[in-house]
A = this chain, B = another copy of it.
Amino acid sequence: MNDSEQAPLISDEGEVGFVDYQDFVSKEPFQFVSGGSIPELTLRYETYGHLSAAKDNAILICHALSGDHHCAGVHGIEERKQGWWNFMVGPGKPIDTTRYFVICSNVLGGCQGSTGPGSINPATGRPYNLDFPKLTVQDMVKAQSLLIDSFGIDRLHAVIGGSMGGMQTLQWAIDFPQRVGRYIALACGARHTAQAIAFNDTGRQAIISDPEWKGGNYDPQEGPAQGLAVARMMAHITYLSDVGMESKFGRKRRSGDQSREHFEVEFEVESYLRYQGASFVTRFDANTYLYLTKALDRFDLHSPESLDVTLQAVTAPGLVVGFTSDWLYPPQGNREVVEALLRLGKDATYAELAMDFGHDSFLLRAPQLYELMHRFLSR
């Protein structure tokens, strides 16, 4: 058998097409792990494909820090921005919407329609801002479980996510073992390293020290745009890799002209990053950035008990994928989770993909990743 003569099992050519978001609203008070609560809860989400009569073909996709519920398809003729995982989700794609009913929600604490620090507190008629309770990955997952309840789904075929989405995925497998058929956690480990915390805190300081932050009480249409842009520029560097940036930008200059004004854009990489910073502030809320990065920093499967004790709850088979060039969540952190699962006799497997694009590798068109995921989902 010659691999090169085989037709590919999967492709990324099918399209979800037009899709609209919906809002799940719970009017019950929601309790946070921290002890805080909010009187009601909205999660904005999208779905792709059709839920089977037996309600046994649902896949929950959990997004990363700067992601949202718009994971596949386009919103309409006018608004044709593809979902952030459009390569991965669609008819005939690795997460095949002709077979699976795919749900992707904006996280609790988010700023794209789900309840978060920028939402109006019904008790006061004003945004929560820093009155929003302390947020953890466990809270995000608990809120998603209410959304899954609303569909009458007892057990998900799979939970899948990368980065912060990977942490949610692991938390699902721990907190709701009976509701998770299998899980795929990409580009994430059991906890942040000191370096990852350091980058996040620097980003938070950029926001908090921007006078427009105003102690968190900025007007909804204003806010610490400069600080948030700087935080995003820095974070974006950590999502890429030295090798990836070198091949994409190297030392290419914006123009042949080296006599530009002081500190204006000179190198292509500066132009790219400044654009990333400036565009981020048009779609993201600074307080949400503070809350989500804190939730990431606090996520720690080694605590309060050891990693092995924490993972004892898991029953579903799991696939964990690390990326060789991911220096924000280095592969050994991904591998450590599977090593603990295997020590516990769990059904778990680890794959390490040699890709040059750093932490963001899981978001990229990558046939070797497609194949892994497709096979694991059909197992």
Q: Which residues of A contact B (CB under 8 A)?
A: 130, 134, 191-195, 197-199, 201-202, 204-206, 208-211, 226-227, 229-230, 233-234, 237, 240-242, 245-246, 248-251, 262-263, 266-267, 269-270, 273-274, 277, 290, 294, 297, 300, 327, 330
Q: Which of B194, B209, B234 is in CB contact (< 8 Å) with A269?
A: B194
Contact of B195 with A251 in the complex, beta carbons under 8 Å? no
| Nearest-CB residue, chain B, relative to A241 | B195
How many angstroms from the CA of A210 to the CA of B195 in the assembled complex?
Answer: 25
Contact of B201 with A242 in the complex, beta carbons under 8 Å? no
Contact of B290 with A263 in the complex, beta carbons under 8 Å? yes
How many angstroms from the CA of A208 to the CA of B191 in the assembled complex?
Answer: 34
How many angstroms from the CA of A226 to the CA of B227 in the assembled complex?
Answer: 10
Contact of A206 with B204 in the complex, beta carbons under 8 Å? no
How many angstroms from the CA of A267 to the CA of B296 in the assembled complex?
Answer: 13
Contact of B294 with A242 in the complex, beta carbons under 8 Å? no
Whole-angstrom distance between the Cβ of A278 and the nearest chain B Cβ: 10
User: Which one of A195, A204, A226, A237 has the greatest number of beta carbons of chain B within 10 Å?
Assistant: A195
In the bound complex, residues from chain B placing their C-beta under 8 Å from that of A242 are: 193-195, 327, 330
Q: Which of B191, B241, B294 is in CB contact (< 8 Å) with A263?
A: B294
How many angstroms from the CA of A300 to the CA of B266 in the assembled complex?
Answer: 14
Contact of B250 with A194 in the complex, beta carbons under 8 Å? yes
Contact of A202 with B234 in the complex, beta carbons under 8 Å? yes
Contact of A197 with B269 in the complex, beta carbons under 8 Å? yes
How many angstroms from the CA of A210 to the CA of B269 in the assembled complex?
Answer: 22
| Nearest-CB residue, chain B, relative to A242 | B195
Contact of A233 with B205 in the complex, beta carbons under 8 Å? yes
In the bound complex, residues from chain B placing their C-beta under 8 Å from that of A233 are: 198, 201-202, 205
